[in-house]
Structure 1
Amino acid sequence: MDEESAAVIDHFNFDASDDGDHTRIVVTPKNLINAPTIIGTQNTKPILFEGTG
């Protein structure tokens, strides 16, 4: 069971607008898996993620 307020943390790929917790993550297209159902087929822009894993 997840704990309340749990979040993914990434100290290397965090967004510049992150408030210091490093929980707002930027994923570039080259680091995405080949899963069209999840990320689409023509993803050329970074994905901004904030939430639980």
Structure 2
Amino acid sequence: MALLVVVLSPFVAMTFWGLPRLNFDWTQGQTPTEIDWGKFITLLLWNCSGYQYPPF
């Protein structure tokens, strides 16, 4: 249990240290004016392709 606390404490500390520095401007409802459909379809197909590492 002590090792768990030692290993996770830097991540917890960095999270609390970084929270006040977050920029939440994206929550104001800004949407892109133009969509690059080629990139969108390529990304969509890549994410839905079902690529998996070979089983061992």
Shorter chain as normaliser: what TM range? under 0.3
TM-score (norm 2): 0.19
Looking at secondary structure, tell me which structure has more strand per residue: 1
Looking at secondary structure, tell me which structure has more helix per residue: 2
Instruction: Point out the structure with max Rg over C-alpha.
Output: 2
